[in-house]
Each structure stands twice: as C-alpha cells, then as structure tokens.
Amino acid sequence: MCGIVGYVGARPAQGLLLEGLRKLEYRGYDSAGISVIADGQIEAVRAVGNLAALQSKARERGGARSRRGAAVALAEKPARTGIGHTRWATHGRVSEENAHPHFDNADRVHVVVNGIVENYMALKQRLLEAGCVFTPRPTPR
C-alpha cells in the first residue's frame, strides 16, 4: 500500500521525511523516494526495495540528489520542505523509474500520487499539446 509524507517548516526536512516513511513501513511497499527543496532547487533520491535501501542510497550520495547530481548535503542551507512516498506497484513494474516522486523534464515540479489516475490519457494529451515530453516506456524483457 502506498503512503505519502510531506513537511514544510523550520527543521531540516530530509530526516523528518525518512522518519515519516519509516512509520509507514508496516504497510508494505516495493520502492520509496523523497524530494526536498534546497537552495531553490528540487533534489530527489529514489530506490527500489525497503526503506533501508533509500536511506543507504541517500547516505551514499551525501543526501538526496537531483538527476544533475547536486547533493543536498552540500547545500548552504538544509532543505526545510519536502515530500516522500512509498509505492506498492499496482501498475507498472517495480523500478527506480516508476518510484515516486515523479518529476517534469525541467526538474521544476516533483509529485507523488496515491491510487490510479483514471483520466491519465486526457491529462497526457493536454500536456503533449502544451509541449511536454514524456519519458519513453522501457521495453519489457
């Protein structure tokens, strides 16, 4: 079962998000991720497996990272806003690409979703018409 955690406040967000996700562990899941805002940029880390895999990956990288590789731990100010998600794959394979948070091509918007977006085709069509580019779906093995 999926779960969402968010934080906006004065305390550093990353540890609070990971602790919130830890409290959701009993629900079962196959992947997890967090995104935080640090120094005006959104940074993310996602991992397949249990929360220990996400925590290990975040430590290994020195904190959450964006696709560009900038580490949150190196930011001047700690991130004080963020979201986290645990995923149970009801649609799509278990992979880091399918783990949440998902983000746009400009790395400006990160979202987490619980449940199924029933009108995804209509939403996708509107986004395509607006010039958005979608990541190609990997070929099944």
Specify the DSSP class assigned to residue 137.
P
> Which of 117, 96, 106 lies closest to 33 in space, CA to CA?
96
- Per the CB < 8 A criterion, the answer to whether 99 and 33 are in contact is yes
| Tens digits of residue pLDDT in 75-97 | 467 899 999 999 988 878 899 98
User: Would you write out the chain's pLDDT as a tens digit for each of its 141 residues?
Assistant: 688 999 999 999 999 999 999 998 877 789 999 999 988 889 999 999 989 999 999 888 765 544 444 444 444 678 999 999 999 888 788 999 889 999 988 888 999 998 888 998 999 999 999 998 887 765 555
DSSP lists the bridge partners of residue 87 as 31
Specify the DSSP class assigned to residue 139.
P
Phi/psi-derived region of residue 131, left when phi > 0, alpha when psi is between -120 and 50, beta in every other case: left
